[in-house]
Structure 1
């Protein structure tokens, strides 16, 4: 891995939080992701399942974590199973976790080879009443592939039909949403790497460059700072491309007089950052561009202030909608009649701002975290309003990542990334 090794105390704390919410005499199992094939002998680069990483720090394929707080043998209350390595594997694939290294990374004393899992699992299941299955219940999930986790659940239900089943996901939603200080520090590192990439392209962008060239400049800066690369597929959308919310082609030449919407950010140690900035191709905003940009920035700043303990996510979005409605009227895009006659299920402002304002961020860009309960301190949210005007060939979105504080306004992890009009123009023209 490119990143510096994480202190295992983080994973020790995470496991304690999870196990504290488990039922008596219950086992929880977490599987690593598969390596997914492309065709012939090619595969996608491996990315670890975020749940097993959150609980163990093990960033390797063919890994299983087992938690059994009530195991009769104390050494079996936390077990990590890893793929057995050898000299042949080391030559062809590189170093894999030894038992000693697995303990160092995870803080788990009991480590077995993966080939021993079935035997040990059977023995422990004779002591247990309940098995926790780790299903993906994120509100935006749309998984069609059968995962390693899904295969395990299917097999386990057949072989242990008399056991009770429980879900890991509600516990993970609860504990993953509130970040530990070490997690916030890792996310801030990702944001700092993102800042370096953004400052690099402010000097690079000019009329005639291509969207994919901008992508390459970011990737260069990210990787040289120990990031694996982009936290999510990068959006580099010049001109009217910015009105396609998930524009991913990044294959157009940027034109004088247009703006570029940049929705991209670095990951670090599997933790995401999520940034959006909108900049003028020629280094100078037009008056109209300034008007729209300033309106979005005002909404972002006011929306950020609302992210405090006790805020309800759904109500927050309604309040942001009111802010945006006022700004759109000021820009001449809506009038009072539009608002008076709006459909309550699709308010008038949605014509120009059709997506949400905030989501949890952490190990996933759209991270686990409770959304129907009041917000808590140390949750991390994005703030990302936008205004999209296809008739004028422009779209503006601005986005930062902020940490909810016990008291006062959220702490902006992207506070050092230029966002004010004057600073962006100055950096692009120096």
Structure 2
């Protein structure tokens, strides 16, 4: 049943209360969750209880909100990418050591002077806000149904115990016009031109960061170039909007997970929400947002390609009741079959993962629930070394 209602100022006026509540009850009973829209529920139910479909199990709920300033808020290591164009050898070496260490420990790093045009980022963010402000009945024209890779809707995992308190929209630069035309049939280029340019520049950033991290492994910077030809490179943009939540202590914007990709390049606004799990402390840490940077995080494919040296780490998004949050995550990947180079395999550090392709991995990468053992280790670790595959 398509939704016909919308929020004040964003479309047609609301139906009578009885009809509205009946419609919401109907949505809440949907088991496929495709029609569920956190933004709509946020406005309509502000100040009331969190709808049951969003209530996380007790063990998954955030124990520390992101707005609490404490020793559990960290600013990730910041690396100035302009150092890699510098003739100053020690400056470049220090930047390389810093980005490598961050990816070996946190699995995350912030990069500045990244080369993505700031005005383009701001323009793209404005277009993404315009997308999420559309009436639900319009956004449903580009609905992402379970099993689909692209479109508007929820983030799907199998075995998901509760819905994420977020709206999302998945596209790539090749289908951007197609999906924009479903939302703005006569004015789609305003959105698609900005987003296509943004994805192209972030892809270029992904290539540059990949080559730096490859060099950090002691390999030639272009060692993985054959994995990332124009035909093999796979990039997807996920735009996330986290609306106000009536009971943020019971909800999550995005469940705890490890990214299955090669790299994720995340730009976020000034509202905090990203949390990273630190295994040695057995604790979640809030990441202090920095709008002039991109957050780069290691994915499972890079962990395998680095033979476990770079780490794909659990992370999640929490929400709040006072300020919305917007983020844009570009997943940078290869469709080639990935295997760790022989140079990284030694008697002390034997091959940790068998070769696999993204096409193979994606079939099962989102089926695992949060746990100490990652989906990568569960599916592809070579038995003789799997016990130490995530211990650094």
TM-score of the pair, normalised by structure 2 = 0.27
Q: TM-score, normalised by structure 1?
A: 0.25
Structure index of larger Rg: 1
Q: Which has the higher contact order (CA 8 A, sep 6+)?
A: 2
